Amino acid sequence: MEVTQSRLNRSDILGAAASGLCAIHCTLTPLIFAAKPLLEGTVGEHAHGVGFWAVFDYVFLVLSLAAVWYSARHTSHTTIKWVLWAAWIVFAIGILGEPLELSFGKWLMYAGSITLVITHLQNYRYCRNAQDGNC
């Protein structure tokens, strides 16, 4: 089965969008939880890594895994392939380490997420400009 250029481009767009949304989610979450007691008039302890809100982390992790797997599998650019996987591993360690309260977990999530966005966009551009159609 031949892989079409548009199908490959969709995985990079999905990966960049999921990673970007994750970065926005991770940035806004502390603000939302900080504002909640003020808005409700109650003071309580809120954590990002528990309950319904944490489900988003795992949704982003699975979406980014699918996008990385598909993009890395079909790109002919070796460096992009390795950076995608390395960024996803950093991203996953950050997310999965959050319940363990790793002090650097959030930084790993941000670094992995931003690197995934940039690398997916680079791969999208690389594949779009590939003359031989062998991306």
* CA atoms of 5 and 3, how far apart (whole Å): 7
pLDDT for position 75: 86
Per-residue pLDDT at 2 exceeds 80: no
pLDDT for position 127: 81
What percent of the chain is modeled with pLDDT above 90? Answer: 13
Residue spans per domain, the chain: 5-129
What percent of the chain is modeled with pLDDT above 70? Answer: 67
Question: Cα-Cα-Cα-Cα dihedral of 55, 59, 87, 24, to 10°?
Answer: -70
Mean pLDDT calculated for residue range 96-115: 85
pTM of the entire structure?
Answer: 0.67
pLDDT for position 49: 47
CB atoms within 10 A of CB 64: 28
Question: Per-residue pLDDT tens for 66-77?
Answer: 889 988 888 888
From residue 105, how far is each of 25, 43, 93 by CA, in Å?
Answer: 15, 26, 7
Interacting residues of 94 by C-beta distance below 8 A, sequence separation 6+: 102, 105, 106, 107, 108, 109, 110, 111, 112
Per-residue pLDDT at 39 exceeds 80: no
Per-residue pLDDT at 64 exceeds 50: yes
* CA atoms of 25 and 132, how far apart (whole Å): 38
